[in-house]
Amino acid sequence: MKIRIPSLENAVKFLRPNVLHWDFYNDGETARFHMWDDPTGSDPPTWAELSLQIRKDNAIWEYYEYARKREELYGDIGDQLDMLYNDIKSGDLQNGNWIKLIDSVKEKIKKPENPEPDIENWTL
């Protein structure tokens, strides 16, 4: 699953992938599209549709926070491949530097025990 950063722009792109240009206005009381250019002729999403999609994206984004934190600690992929190469060459795949790095990160930042949110069944 591709994890989208929760935003109005990403919600619009997900809900109406063919839209070329758009301009959205929200002054706190009125939320509407001023411009909408979709070659397929689709109507802009409603504020309710956008809000729901942003809530869904936010739930997934929050769930996968552990993965983003792990990614930072894993370091550069080139450095990881070099570590792995050296472990392979030395015959130390079970206890080499690469596996120690990965294990330490996974130990430090645990995967959530609860399952990923089931956003497919969320409704307006």
34 three-class SS: strand
| Beta strands, E only, 12-117 | 21-26, 31-37
* Per-residue pLDDT, 22: 95
What's the average model confidence in pLDDT over 28-47? 92
Name the percent of the chain lying above pLDDT 90. Answer: 84
Burial of 43 per CB tally in 10 Å (0-12, 13-18, 19+): exposed
Confidence bin at 29 (pLDDT 50/70/90)? confident
Sorted by where each starts, the structural domains of the chain and their CATH numbers stand as: 1-63 (3.30.56), 64-111 (no CATH)
Distance (Å) of CA 71 to CA 15, 45, 48, 51: 28, 34, 34, 29
* 64 has pLDDT over 80: yes
Instruction: Tell if the pTM clears 0.75, that is, is over it.
Output: yes
Residue 23 tokens read as 């301009």
d(CA 33, CA 89): 59
* 17 has pLDDT over 60: yes
